[in-house]
Amino acid sequence: MRKLILVLTLVLFHVMGYAGEARPLTADPELEKRVMTLSEELRCLVCQNQTLADSHADLAIDLKNQVREKLAQGMTNQQVIDYMVERYGDFVLYRPRLQARTWLLWFGPFLLMTGGLGFLGFKLRRRATAAVLPETEMQRAAELLDPNNKAAEPKEPI
């Protein structure tokens, strides 16, 4: 049994020795670098929270191939991005441009945080002023809490 395991292990390691590095899809390493740069700027339409470079979805692979084809045709990076935005909308951009339509997307979190902090400050200030008792109430509380005060002791039930 040990010999069988040893032989299988040796065969497995022998086969793994022939494994090689994945070949790039194009022979031009500069083109692949540009494809990867653009793939990091574009969103996977299926995953929605990943770039094309990070996604392994079929549509992401198709979009990467489309980017590769457009770059091979001689388009610039900006032309490819403009083509993708024209075809799929602003959603395809991983970092959307600052436009009138995306103003709330960019500044909404800051507005919410500012509003929340303002509301918290208002509530804390209101609580601090509401916690102050009038002088008569403070004296009455002191009398009730004084252990030497016999008048403050509860009377026996009738």
Residues 96, 90: contact at Cβ < 8 Å? yes
End-to-end CA distance of the chain: 93
Q: Scan for tokens 């403070």, then name that residue.
A: 138
Question: Which of 35, 41, 46 lies closest to 93, judged by CA?
Answer: 41
pLDDT of residue 116: 95
pLDDT of residue 32: 87
Which parts of the chain register pLDDT below 50?
none
- The torsion angle over the Cα atoms of residues 8, 13, 15 and 16, rounded to 10 degrees, is 140
User: What are the pLDDT digits (tens) for 65-103?
Assistant: 888 988 888 888 899 899 888 888 877 888 777 777 777
pLDDT of residue 120: 94
Axis-axis angle for helices 29-39, 77-88 (nearest 10): 40
**This prediction's pTM:** 0.53
Residues 6 or more apart whose CB falls under 8 angstroms from that of 91 comprise: 43, 45
pLDDT of residue 18: 66
E-strand spans in the chain? none
Give the separation between CA 70 and CA 77, rounded to whole angstroms: 9
Domain boundaries, the chain: 26-97, 103-145
CATH architecture entry for 26-97:
Orthogonal Bundle (1.10)
Residues 92, 85: contact at Cβ < 8 Å? yes
